A = this chain, B = another copy of it.
């Protein structure tokens, strides 16, 4: 039997790729024979260095990856000064009234500025900053994959990564974008259906995966969006993908650094509770439905601000809601697969369960169809 193409590319045992902001999850996926990928969106270069050093110690020379925001253009993200004073006062007041009616206290006056600045600093993105994060990643030889979450990386960056023996991929929710990644010379694309967490396109996985596979062939495709169990892994291969890319299913693991309250909310949630909302970033993104996301849909609500200003506005709400543990208002990015996340597990158990059901599915497939 020939080896799976992704396993050959990265010298891993199973074509299971996982995305997380939490280093424990990333390390454990790699240790289990897959390839964990750390989201770096909110780390400073110093913090990232610390995280990668920790992961190195866990995984040894097993490969892992990093997700970097490497936009071709910085107009929408490179606001040098994300000063909340520049926010629309109508929006600030509406949000304050919402939180006050909900009984969610203001941040303590003595801590507010520090808390806000720490969060706002994480939203900051310039070419120099992205470059610094990249430099950090390049100092860790076990980093074998860099995924760009905002389009094909610029050519000089791509070449630099290749020179270091690092594979480069990009997320895509639209077949036209996938073609651009292929033309740009990337090594793989991650086709992410609309049912996934965070910013996605509008096309569903069932439709998107095969059309991306065909468009970029022979470039390999990882399937993302709606994957939580072995049946979906079998479906991914049926639709032409070479491996799977999972995000939401790690949320319920003990390695995940989500709070216990957040995990409980996810355990209770159903598929339809992972809704598209503009309330966090201004762009539609899939998150757990909460009273906060619902408030933005009411007739009296203002229209969410454009990027990056909605994120700036959202910072204070998120800090207040999390601090107050206001369960009905808490939210996080999550995909529709949340319906299958019902109890605490571990990264290793999630992976075993996927592989186990995958094997069963493949075995029974011919028989159930009764055709082959």
Q: Name A residues whose Cβ lies closer than 8 Å to a Cβ of B.
A: 1-5, 7, 14-15, 174-175, 193-195, 201-208, 210-211, 225-229, 231-232, 234-235, 237-240, 242, 270-272, 275, 335-337, 339-340, 355, 358-359, 361-363, 365-372
- Interface pair A211/B15, CB less than 8 Å apart: no
How near does chain B come to A367, taking the closest CB pair, in angstroms?
6
Q: Which residues of B contact A369 (CB under 8 A)?
A: 4, 15, 234, 237, 358, 362
The contact of A206 among B14, B202, B204, by CB within 8 Å, is B204
Closest 9 CB pairs of A and B: A4-B370, A206-B226, A234-B238, A195-B204, A235-B235, A204-B204, A205-B206, A235-B238, A207-B336
Q: Which residues of B contact A210 (CB under 8 A)?
A: 229, 231-232
How near does chain B come to A186, taking the closest CB pair, in angstroms?
20
How near does chain B come to A15, taking the closest CB pair, in angstroms?
7
CA A237 – CA B195 in complex, angstroms? Answer: 20
Instruction: Report 24 cross-chain contacts, Cβ distance below 8 Å, ordered by A residue.
Output: A3-B370, A15-B369, A175-B271, A195-B207, A201-B272, A202-B272, A202-B275, A203-B339, A204-B204, A206-B226, A206-B232, A207-B228, A207-B335, A231-B239, A235-B235, A235-B239, A237-B369, A238-B238, A238-B365, A355-B371, A358-B371, A359-B372, A362-B365, A362-B369
- Interface pair A231/B226, CB less than 8 Å apart: no
CA A227 – CA B204 in complex, angstroms? Answer: 11
Chain B residue at minimal CB-CB distance from A201: B272
Chain B residue at minimal CB-CB distance from A363: B372
CA A240 – CA B337 in complex, angstroms? Answer: 16
CA A361 – CA B210 in complex, angstroms? Answer: 12
- Interface pair A339/B207, CB less than 8 Å apart: yes
How near does chain B come to A268, taking the closest CB pair, in angstroms?
14
- Interface pair A368/B237, CB less than 8 Å apart: yes
Q: Which residues of B contact A237 (CB under 8 A)?
A: 365, 368-369
15 new A-B contacts, CB < 8 A, other than A203-B271, A232-B239, A358-B372, are A4-B370, A14-B371, A174-B272, A175-B271, A195-B204, A204-B205, A204-B336, A206-B226, A207-B228, A207-B335, A208-B271, A210-B232, A231-B240, A235-B235, A365-B365
